[in-house]
Amino acid sequence: MKTAVITGASRGIGLEHTRCYAERGVRVFATVRSLADAVELHTIAARSNGAVNVVEYDAALPDGHRSLKDAVGDTPVDLLLANAGIMGDRAQMFGSIDTEEMLELYRVNSVAPLRLAQALAGNVANSTRKLIAFQSSQMGSIGDNKSGGYYAYRASKAALNMIAKGVANDLKSRGIIAVTLHPGWVKTRMGGSSAPLSVAQSVAGQQRLFDKLTLADTGRFFNFDGKELPW
């Protein structure tokens, strides 16, 4: 793998993917919403001998993908990891749903990754690895939903799963592998301190998965450890 594009790289899982890939000699376009707030990422970039390029990208903006496409240009992209996402208000329970918040989560968690895939599909098709990975959540699994609640987040990730499946079908003829991911319950700002997995464990598992995926795997939904999950 020569080049990766990783969104949501200022902290947590995206930051660790960037650090690990830079150590493996991969060129990384790492995106953040605010350049000023990405102190740790800038440190990684400064130590990478030019391997890490920090790019401003806001998934909430309708044309946010354009600035990222401009930064990447015609560079072949072996891995597009659509990792940026938001949780929203955790009080998304039955009887207390906010319509505008639901629409915002759809915009960031569902529509933005699709726009990103559309913008960079040509770059991915021109690479050697040809991989698009959508960071979803097991909370977006309809088959696994046994507790209810979290309507906005669950629905936005279920929508992303459907989008990823469509992308897999539409791009298979171009040799592109498109998969959906659950990173596990990870100790991050979103996952909380009681989560059983470290960021390093989640990212190591995902990178091992990325290394072995083939076109036969396109359109599948994977846990961080490679186990297939129900839609």
Can you tell me the mean pLDDT for 76-100?
Answer: 89
Domain 3-223, CATH:
3.40.50.720
Amino acid 91: pLDDT: 65
Residue 95: pLDDT band with limits 50, 70, 90 = confident
Residue 190: pLDDT band with limits 50, 70, 90 = low
The answer to whether residue 129 scores a pLDDT higher than 70 is: yes
Quick: pLDDT tens for 140-183: 999 999 988 999 999 999 999 999 999 999 999 999 999 999 99
Under DSSP, the state recorded for 197 is: B
Range list of H helices, 77-175: 99-105, 112-125, 151-171
Quick: pLDDT tens for 1-58: 899 999 999 999 999 999 999 999 999 999 999 999 899 999 999 999 999 999 999 9
Identify the sign of the CA torsion 149, 92, 105, 3. Answer: negative
